[in-house]
Structure 1
C-alpha cells in the first residue's frame, strides 16, 4: 500500500498550509491570502511587501529603499533621494526651491543653486551634466550648441543675434562669405544652385500651347545641401534647374522648363521626389507654384472665366492646396480687379493666389509644397484641368447649370481619366463633391 503524497505547502509569510501556493522564488512560497497583500516593486520589479511610498518612483520594497539610499522627507513619511523635502512640501516652500527646466524635479535651494540655461530655464546639476554645455557668448547652458569655424560654440539665439549662418556645404556656422574654411575650395559643388533672379531661355516639352512650369520649394537637412543638389540636377537631366529662395531656410527651389501636362506625367522624373523624401528633405512650410502659359487661353474672356472660377471657389481650392497663406492670398481687391487683369491693365500683387505680373504666364501660387507624388501631380492636374474646364463655359452653363461651382467642376473631372491624380487627391481630401 502506497503512502498518499501531501500536496500542501507551508506559506513562507504566515506559516499556514496551502495547496495552491504562489512562488515568489524557487524556495519561497506564499498562500493566496498573503499574496493579495503584495505588489510589484517599481524599483526592481519583484513581487514583495511593497509599503514604502516614494516621491516620484511609486511604491518600492525594503531592499530598494536601502540600496537606493532613500530617506524620509523632513515633514512627512514620503521617501526621497535628494534634498530635504518631498515634491509636495517643496512646492509649499517655492521661495526656497526651483523646478528643473528639463526633468521638472523640485530642487531645494539649500541643496543646489540653479544652473541657468537658454529659454529662461533653470537646471539641476544632474541635467546640466547630461548633454548641456555653456554657450561661449551668453554663458548659458544649452543642449544644442552650434559650432563656428573659429571654434566657438553658440546657442541658436546667439548665433542669430551675431548674424551667423550655415556654410552652404556643411552645418558649420560662418559670419561672412558662402563657405566655411574647410569648404572654400568646393565652389564647384553648388555651381548648379543659381541666384533668385536666374531665368534661362525656356525649353518647351510636349505639345502646347497649354504649358505648365513647376516651382517646388524644398528644404534640405543641414549639411547635405551639396549632395541633394547633385542628386536633383542629375535626375532632372536638363528638364529644370535649381534656384535660391529667401523663403527657404536651407534648401532650394526646383524649377522646370515649360511642360505639357500629359508630357509631365509621363516624363518628369517622379522618382526624384521619393529619393529626396528618403534623404530627409521636405516641402513642409514651403510653397508649390504652377506657371500657366498665357498662350493657353483663347482670349481675355477665357482668362476671366478661369480667374473667376478659382476665386469663387477659394475654400475648396485651399483645401486641395493644403494651405491658406498670405503668400497666395485670396484678396477681395484682386477678385474685384479680375476684368482689368484679363485686359492686361492690372497686375496686382505678386503674393496673390494668381500672380498676374509675369509677362507670358499666370502663376498659380496656392499650393503647399510636397514630396508626395500624387499631391504634386494633382497640382499640375488642377492647373491644366481648370483652364480646360473654363475654356468652353458658356453663359447658360454658368447661369443655368452652376458652371462656376466646385461640384460642377468635379463632376466634369470624373469623365476625364487623364486627371486621375487630381480626382484621387480630391477623394483623399474628401472634397470631391
Structure 2
C-alpha cells in the first residue's frame, strides 16, 4: 500500500510527489505543500536553483528574476553608485575593481577614445566629440595659453615666451616678427614705415639709430648749474620736446644733428633722445635738469640746433613738457601754483599756444579752500599741471616749437610761475582775478625773463589769443623807464 502525500495547507492529496514542494514555515519546520498553496503563503521559487523561499528572502534582479541569497551572491553584484543588484555578466567593471550598472557607469565614466582606458568623467578631457584620458590628452594635444582650449599639436603656434596658442587666437591677437620670426602679441607690434614690416620691440629698436633710446630709458640725472650758484638752493628745470618728421630719413638726419650740436662731447651730457610711438616718425628730446641761468648759458647751443631742426620737423600736435623740481615747494605753494594755472588758463594759452586733450586744465576754484582740495586730488597724469612724478611738477601745456624765442619763453614762464606763486601772490588775490596783471609786472621787471617779455610783446601786438590791454601793462613800465632815463 502506497503512502499518500497531503498538502499541509489545504489537505488535498498530492497525487504525484513531483507536483509538491517542501517549504520552510519556520527554522525547525519543513512542510510538504502543493505549489498553489505555497504561493498563497507568500513563497516563491529561486529562478536559478529552484528552491522555494519566502518573498522577503529573495531578491528580484532585473533580467534574472527572483534569486535566493546563495544564487544572488554567485550571479550578481551591487552597483557602487545606486546600490541596485545587477547581473555580474552585464555589470560594467572599472579599473579599480568596482561594478556599476549601465546607467550609472555612463553617468560617471567614459572610455578614452584613443587607448580605451576607463576613467571618471571629471578626470577625462572632452575634445571635440571625444573623450581622452590625461596621458593621451597630454601626448596628442596642447592647451592654448590664451583661450584655454585643447588643440591638436599639429595646429598650435609657439609664442616668444615658450607658451603655445591656437590658430584662432593667433589670427585674432598675434603677429610674427618679420625679423626674428618669433610670435608676439599685437600690442608689441612696431611698424617699420620704410619696409612696411611688423617687428617686435627688440628688432625694431635694433633697426633704430644707436642714439635713439627706448621709451622707458631713464639715466641718472646730471644737474647743471652756474658757478655762482654753487652752494645755493636752486630751482632746476628739465624739458621733453616732441618732434615729428615726414619720414624716418628726416628723423635720422635730425637725430644726428641733435646729438652733434647738443652733446658735443659724444655722450649724453646735456640731452638724450627717446622713442615715442605717439609721434609720426618722431623722437623725444629729454634734457638733464638745469637752472634757468644754466639754460641761458646753453641758449646759443640750443638756438643753433633749433635752427637746424626747421629743415626736418613737421609735428603740429607735438608737445613741450617742462619739469620743475618740487623739493622746495610747500603744500600752500603747490596750491597757489595749481590755482594760478587753472584761474588764468585763457591768458596762459597765449604762451602755451595750444589747448590739448593731453594737458587738460582743471576747473577754476571759487575759494582758497576749494583750491586746496583740488590741488590734493589729481585725477590724471594728463592734466595741465601733473603732480604724479616723485621729484618734479610737470607743465604739459606747451605746444612744441623750434623757434628759440618761443622755446625760451616757455622755460622762463615756468620759472616765473614758480617764483611768483612762491612769494609774490596769495591765494585770495589769485581767486579774485587780479593776479595776472601783477604777474605781467613781475615778468617785465625781471631781466631773467627777457625772452618771455619779448614773446609776449609780439604776441599781444599781433592780437594772438589775448586782449591788447595786456600789451599796455607790459609796455607802460618800459616807456616810463625810458622817459626817466632821458
**Interval containing the TM-score (normalised by the shorter chain):** 0.5 to 0.7
Q: C-alpha distance in 2, partners of 1:177/1:380? A: 37
Alignment of 1:376 with 2:407, yes or no, is yes
Alpha-carbon distance, 1:179 to partner: 10
Shift of 1:187: 3.9
| 1:350 CA displacement | 0.6
After TM superposition, the runs of 4+ consecutive aligned structure 1 residues lying more than 6 A away are: 333-337
Matches within 5 A, 1:117-136: none
Conserved? CA contact 1:284–1:370, under 8 Å: no
Once the two structures are TM-superposed, the CA of residue 304 in structure 1 deviates from its matched residue by 1.4
Give the whole-Å Cα distance in 2 for the aligned partners of 1:205 and 1:341.
33
SS at match of 2:358: helix
1:418 aligns with 2:448: yes
Counterpart contact for 1:328–1:352, Cα < 8 Å: yes
- Provide closer, same or farther for how the CA distance between residues 285 and 399 of structure 1 changes in structure 2, counting only shifts above 3 A: closer
What is the CA deviation profile of residues 290-345 of structure 1, one whole-angstrom value per residue up to 9, with x for unaligned ones? 00100243x11112112111111011112211101111101229999752575xx5
Does 1:300 find its partner at 2:326?
no
The TM-score, its normalising length taken from structure 1, stands at 0.54
Matched, 1:407 2:431: no
Bigger drift between 261-270 and 307-316 goes to 261-270
The unaligned stretches of length 5 or more in structure 2 are 1-177, 180-188, 264-268, 461-465, 472-486
Give the match for residue 309 of structure 1.
340
- TM normalised by structure 2 equals 0.49
Map Cα deviations across residues 49-71 of structure 1 (whole Å, 9 max, x no partner).
xxxxxxxxxxxxxxxxxxxxxxx
Distance 1:399 1:295, change over 3 A: closer
Residues of 2 paired with 1:213 and 1:334: CA distance?
29
Q: 1:333 to 1:320 in 2, by over 3 A?
A: closer
**Which deviations, in whole Å up to 9, do the C-alpha atoms of 1:202-247 show, x marking residues without a partner?**
1111145211011100012313233322221222212011111232
Distance 1:421 1:399, change over 3 A: closer
Q: SS at the partner of 1:202? A: coil
Shift of 1:395: 4.4
Deviation at 1:397, TM superposition (A): 8.3
- Aligned counterpart in structure 2 of residue 244 of structure 1, from 260, 275, 280: 275
- The alignment status of 1:215 with 2:251, answered yes or no, reads no
1:173-192 matches, within 5 Å, as: 173-177=196-200, 187=206, 190-192=209-211
- In 2: Cα distance, 1:256 partner to 1:204 partner: 10
**Structure 1 residues 403 and 203: CA distance shift in structure 2, 3 A:** farther
Whether contact under 8 Å (1:219, 1:248) holds in the other structure is yes
Matched residue pairs, number? 261
Partner SS, residue 259 of structure 1: coil
Q: Say whether residues 1:230 and 2:256 are aligned partners.
A: yes
Unaligned runs of 5+ in 1: 1-148, 151-162
Question: Structure 1 CA distance, aligned partners of 2:359 and 2:427?
Answer: 31
Aligned pair in 2 of structure 1 residues 341, 412: CA closer, same or farther (>3 Å)?
Answer: same
Contact 1:213 1:259 in 2 (8 A): yes
Identify if the C-alpha distance between structure 1 residues 348 and 427 changes in structure 2 by more than 3 Å, giving closer, same or farther: same
CA distance in 1, matches of 2:388, 2:395: 11
Q: Give the aligned CA root-mean-square deviation in angstroms.
A: 3.1
CA distance in 1: counterparts of 2:428 and 2:209, whole angstroms: 52
SS at match of 1:200: coil
Aligned to 1:194: 213
1:289 has 2:321 as partner: yes
- Alpha-carbon distance in structure 2 between the residues aligned to 1:399 and 1:215: 29
Residues 220, 251 of structure 1: 8 Å contact kept: yes
Report the alpha carbon displacement of residue 281 of structure 1 after superposing the two structures with TM.
1.4
Relative contact order higher in (CA < 8 Å, ≥ 6 apart): 1
